[in-house]
Chain A
Amino acid sequence: MFKSFRRDELGFQLLINAFLLIVLLAIVIPLWRVIMTSFTPLDVYMKGGTPMFQLPWQWSLGAYEQLLTHPTFPRATLNSIIITLGGTALSLFLTIPLSYALSTRTLPGRRIIIALILFTFLFHVGLIPTYLLVAKTLGWSNNFLAVIVPPAVGVTNVLVMMRFFEGIPDEIKESARIDGANDLQVLWSIVLPLSKPIILTIGLFYAVYYWNEFFSPMLYLNDQNLQTLPVLLRSILIGQNFSEYVDVDVSQAASIESLKSAAVLLTMLPMVLVYPWIQRYFTKGTLLGGVKE
């Protein structure tokens, strides 16, 4: 392999790949540390903290067991799943029709609507006016709607999807119209089947948003039973009220550090699982417009 390089090429390749290796290690080491800590048995941890490497048969699942057998963590997971699924469904329900209607260039009023939407993207009045609307006017405190509805439409997602719909040849839509289909039928039976990749991708982006969102659940959902995974994870990480989410009687099974690391990894897991699907599309460049955000 090296022989195919010119002389100056070899040194150059070694240099840039060494740089890439350093970057790779900078990303991997913190993740590795958290993984190792989560599996470190209590007695090992007590003797010398987290070892750099442990063989799988030395791993302890105590921390995971403790988190998952106490009702709090599974409850928060369920809340996060409900919010993520509900939020993603609502987001797509609003984003797809909006993008489709706006992708019809001949639609009267199209430019005005795009301008109205872009204006809200560029001009923010801050947190309080929305907070008053959601918490006071609508009375959505301790209601999942407060977390699901206000952020439901993302302007960049609308623009990306609009651009995709614009790319579908008019002839296809027109031939369906000649056969007597109306715009709803064209959207449902012609456009949507052709748009599965972009819908999946935008849907995943919405899902990532809802799964990760920390601030609005913290702001609107004060009831302990309604708390989401990121909110619970933060209290675990800053070491608040351990008795509320692990059984203190059996807390000999894992160190607090292992518990924290296991909670981080369990919260990360869905992101890591859907990541390959997301990556498949953003590398194709479909989403370059959406990267601006």
Chain B
Amino acid sequence: MSQSIAKPGRGMTPAPDHPLAHRARRLALTLWRHRWLYLLLVPPLIYYLVFRYIPIYNAQIAFKDFFALKGVEGSPWVGFQHFETFFKSFYFNELIFNTIIFSSAKLVLGLPIAIILAIAIHESRFLFFRSLVQTMTYLPHFLSWVIMLGLLLALLSPSSGMINDAIKAVGGNPIPFLTSPAWFRQVVVGSDIWKDTGWSTILYLAALLGINPDLYEAAEVDGASRWRRIWHISLPGIIPVVVLVTLLRLGNILDAGFNQIFVLYSVPVYSVGDIIDTWVYRSGVLDFQFSLATAVGLFKGVIGLVLILVANQVAKRVAQQSLF
């Protein structure tokens, strides 16, 4: 790379020309000065164009009858027909309900456990034990859902799972947790909490560490008990983070955990386990209903965008902080 590239404009006195021409020249100069940065931007921007924006362009088939032979452009327009099919279908309510029930159960049950865990870690004086707990509870976040399936089977398999062994030992009948409609939702929510609660405490721990230690000392001098200090200092200290996390999760409420459910579910539990994303996969990729599946995906995308923008606005108002 040559360093001696001519630098136009250097040393030239700007001509007393039209202000607009002057500004254009200044802009050209700034662009030229940053030419290497623009060069760096070329590969990532091509990536974004091809792999993020062409799919958005392809999403027009939601309003078309897509035929593979005719391609995205050549397929005939049909308006909102596929959206109507989806709204009127028998699975519409089921998919929306399942999606929201999974997201909200994970949030409502997981959040208090995460807060309690964060406070317990923060308060524990046994430093080695404390970091051992942190290390072990963060670990599952990095395990894939296929590995999680292996761990769940080790606990829940009717033939050899640890929990079913215990049930059999006390004379009960083994329960097929993963294939039973009565148990599948509990398994999904429980395993999600098992996997990610530890990881989610990181944010709360950071907030707890950010609390001014003088507050605790002052409270101690005033004779406040441990519990009162947690209630009046620790909890208020992490509430902004709790609000932010909750808003973000509400903004993403239609993302119920595709990777998890896709790995864990099976035909017997479709009625209680099927979410929007798994349905889009099956109807699109397996049943070739590309347009219908795209319409459902687009519907979810638009609602999701609106929700996250609303959540962001609320976060700005309530916590004086934006999510992104």
Interface of A with B (CB < 8 Å)? 5, 8-9, 12-13, 16-17, 19-20, 23-24, 26-31, 33-34, 37, 49-50, 93-95, 97-98, 100-101, 104, 106-108, 113, 116-118, 120-133, 136-137, 149-150, 152-153, 180-185, 187, 208, 211-215, 219, 230, 233-234, 237, 257, 260-261, 263-264, 267-268, 271-272, 275, 278-279, 282-283, 285, 288, 291-292
Contact = CB atoms under 8 A, between A and B. Distances in A.
Most buried by B among A12, A125, A271, A283: A125
Most buried by B among A30, A95, A108, A152: A30
B304 to A, nearest CB: 7
A118 B206 CA distance: 25
A34 B154 contact: yes
Nearest to B135: A279
Contact of A129 (B43, B59, B194, B309): B59
Given A113-B45, A182-B1, A214-B146, 14 more contacts: A13-B126, A16-B120, A20-B117, A24-B132, A28-B136, A34-B151, A106-B34, A127-B293, A131-B285, A180-B3, A213-B144, A230-B147, A260-B153, A288-B206
B142 A208 contact: yes
Contacts of A267: 144, 146-147, 150
Interface string B150-190: 11111100001010010000000000000000000000000
Given A24-B136, A108-B27, A120-B53, A30 B151 contact: yes
A268 B123 CA distance: 32
B68 to A, nearest CB: 7
Given A49-B160, A107-B34, A127 B277 contact: yes
Contacts of B47: 94, 149, 152-153
Contacts of B119: 16
Contacts of B146: 212, 214, 230, 233-234, 237, 267
Nearest to A214: B146
B297 interface: yes
Given A233-B150, A275-B139, A101 B58 contact: no
A108 B30 contact: yes
B202 interface: yes
A166 B138 CA distance: 28
B79 to A, nearest CB: 18
A285 B205 CA distance: 10
B121 interface: yes
A127 B61 CA distance: 13
A106 B55 CA distance: 31
Chain B contact surface mostly: helix
Contacts of B227: 12
Contacts of B27: 108
A133 B60 CA distance: 13
Most buried by B among A117, A213, A291: A291
A122 B309 contact: yes
Contacts of B109: none
Given A17-B124, A127-B284, A212-B144, A279 B117 contact: no
A33 B154 contact: yes
Interface residues of B, number: 102
A8 B225 contact: yes
A20 B116 CA distance: 10
A141 to B, nearest CB: 12
A217 B143 CA distance: 17
B297 A292 contact: no
A214 B145 contact: yes
B81 interface: no
Contacts of A26: 194
Given A117-B48, A182-B1, A278-B142, A50 B30 contact: no
A95 B48 CA distance: 11
Contact of A24 (B72, B133, B225, B226): B133
Contacts of B31: 108
A37 B162 CA distance: 11
* Smallest CB-CB A-B distances: 8 pairs: A126-B297, A212-B144, A264-B150, A129-B58, A97-B40, A183-B36, A98-B44, A129-B55
